[in-house]
Amino acid sequence: MFVSENLSVNAAGNLAIGGVDTVELAKEYGTPLYVMDEQEIRRTLRRFHDSINKYYDGKGSVHYASKAFSCMEMCRIVASEGDGLDAVSIGELYTALKAGFPMEKVGFHGNNKTDEELEFAVDNKVGHIVVDNIPELHRLETIAAEKNAVPHIMFRIKPGISAHTHDKIMTGQIDSKFGFALETGEAFEAVKDALSCKNVELAGVHCHIGSQIFDIVPFEEAAKVMLRFIAKVKNELGFEIRELNLGGGFGIKYTSQDDPQPFENYLERVSAVVKEECAKLNIEQPFIYIEPGRSVAAPAGITLYTVGARKIIPDIRTYISIDGGMPDNPRYILYGSEYDAVVANKAGEERTEKVTIAGKCCESGDLIGENMPLQHAEAGDIIAVCATGAYNYSMSSNYNRLQKPAVVFVNNGESRIAVKRETLDDIIRNDI
């Protein structure tokens, strides 16, 4: 009935998330409101790390990609599950640090890290710095030497794999701002350069081919390409790379039309390729990392809105206006992303209409979706947009000087604030 398994209809006929009534959440905390189901997050993380332990014989680790959804409470949950974390900015690093996350289990990504960010990563003994380009390698070498440190690094490699996803979230092809190309010999020269550096230690290589990918074959091909590169380095330079990060990008169910593979299928099939290739290439199986982000956070979250105006344009469309929009969910205006929605206080009723859910910003394109099946919605109803736990709060803005919503976690029938709703004073706090 719903795209996420943690959603249900309760005895009152209202939508529940993790067993908690969403209509009551809207009353208690106001709207717009992000709601995250802690148990769903934990279940997904456990599926990933149980599978990686099974299929890689204990030689693997899960790093949650915090760009999908980062706050201190999320970092604490990931840490309590024993998993690692990926960060892509000093802000995400700082969030993890202040949450008490073990920094040795953090990987630091980014195609244009500043000196301040590199210094912060070295000072706080981040587990891996994923180097994206040669100038960054040399800046990091200088910074590390000044601090008498030897940080572990990985190189981000473009495996040249085309993933069947939106152009703006493809990252593994040669024409990408991320990483070193294999085809030009750039990646191999980078390894040679790193091996001559005294104040960095090359631990591994990393790849990421894109996001919201449903097909397992591109992941299998990426693993083959990366392992062949590891073999080339061993055979020609006498250096065996001991760690391989295969990234993330696993697709999730946003609408009933989406048909993602179970994560376990991905891990089983790619692990078989890894073992077969390592034997064929005569290399030791590297320690494997994966980086799920969206697949952990998105299904665990929903966003609640209150309906304002209902506007009918005969023979054209019906607009249902809500008290949020592109500042709290920019993915439709960016990517045309599709969602499933439900009138939370009529969740047990049939969806009899197709409507356009419109945000309140002064932009014609400020929509959550078009031609969305929905129960009949009137002013005062609560609408839940499903699978919004990833890249909604993370990409939120103060456009039109709107306050960012609160984030609430639900767990075992209880709810708690994890991020406070912004106030009007928060909007102007940096104004002079």
**Residues annotated catalytic, as ranges:** 362
Residues 93, 105: Cα–Cα separation, whole Å: 11
**In Å, how far from its chain's centre is CA 64?**
8
Name the phi and psi angles at 244, rounded to 5.
-135, 120
CB atoms within 10 A of CB 152: 17
Q: Which residues of 220-255 are buried (b: 16+ CB within 10 A; e: fewer)?
A: bbbbbbbbbbbbebbeeeeeebebbbbbbbbbbbbb
Helices (H) and strands (E) in the chain — how many of each?
A: 12, 21
Q: Please, are residues 391 and 68 in contact by the beta-carbon 8 Å criterion?
A: yes
DSSP 181-236: ESTTSHHHHHHHHHHT-SS-EEEEEE---BSSB--SHHHHHHHHHHHHHHHHHHHH
Q: Please, are residues 275 and 59 in contact by the beta-carbon 8 Å criterion?
A: no
CB atoms within 10 A of CB 362: 8
What are the tokens at 71? 């706050």
The DSSP symbol for 250 reads B
DSSP 290-316: E--SHHHHGGGEEEEEEEEEEEEETTT
